[in-house]
Amino acid sequence: MAPRPVQGLAFEHKEAKKILAEVEALLGAEVSENSARQERNIMITATKTVRELATELPNATRIFEKLGIDYCCGGHKSLEEACKTANASVDRVLLALEQGVDASVSDTAGRDWSSAPLPELVDHIINTHHAYVKSELPRLEALIAKVVRVHGKNHPELETVQTAFTALGQELSAHLMKEEQILFPFVKHMSSANDCGPSCFGTVQNPIRVMMMEHDGAGEKLREMRQATSNYTLPADTCFSYGTLFGALQDFERDLHQHIHLENNILFPRAIALERNN
């Protein structure tokens, strides 16, 4: 047999090295993924607070939303306590969190606001969530009035929804103004200056405490509406506007939950820590 050309041997050697490198990369990726899974399994426990899980795990807030776990106003509770309150299985929630994390490993669409600069987080809250509330309040108030006018006689629970939402809208309007004109500018000042300097409220913890109390009040109004409508279950004799209203109220609830989560669990603790460290 004639000897093989040197060029051919060199090419085959190069291709073999390339294949070997690809195999090693695949094996390395598998090891990394297994390690990541082990770390996540350790991290996801029922003794952690809902707030910790909501800030640490991708997709956690979506899962909590679906399972009825309060992650904004009730974020201080352990996952086990929160599950009891929501009458949800701890094992089911833990499994959902594990699967949710695995499913979101390659999801880069969401921003990690726990490490983003505070001014960017503040602007995001204002431009996304505050803007949403301001645009939806008048639309939903008009829609509720229309549905109550048509269906209120047969469905008195709609008046409960209207009363709760009207009160919620009034409270939120004042709440957003206080944040945008007082608290948020001070948080931005703190993050841009080497020292916090004097403030009209002594410490940032004072307005934060008020804002969190108002968040609790908003959460209570949301629960009143959900309870009055049996979790937004549509009656048999509904019209298109009735279904549109219930869908819009649930969208509003989801956005407000995410809104409060960003403030209670991320912005406020970081602002307090920044003031303390300065």
Q: pLDDT (tens digit, 9 = 90+) per residue, 26-74?
A: 444 444 444 444 444 446 888 888 888 887 876 787 788 778 888 777 7
CB atoms within 10 A of CB 237: 9
CB atoms within 10 A of CB 18: 10
Q: pLDDT (tens digit, 9 = 90+) per residue, 84-111?
A: 888 888 888 888 888 765 544 433 346 7
Q: pLDDT (tens digit, 9 = 90+) per residue, 163-207?
A: 999 999 999 999 999 999 999 999 998 888 655 555 667 889 999
Structure tokens at 220: 């209570």
Does the pTM exceed 0.75? no
11, 13, 15, 19: CA torsion to nearest 10: 180
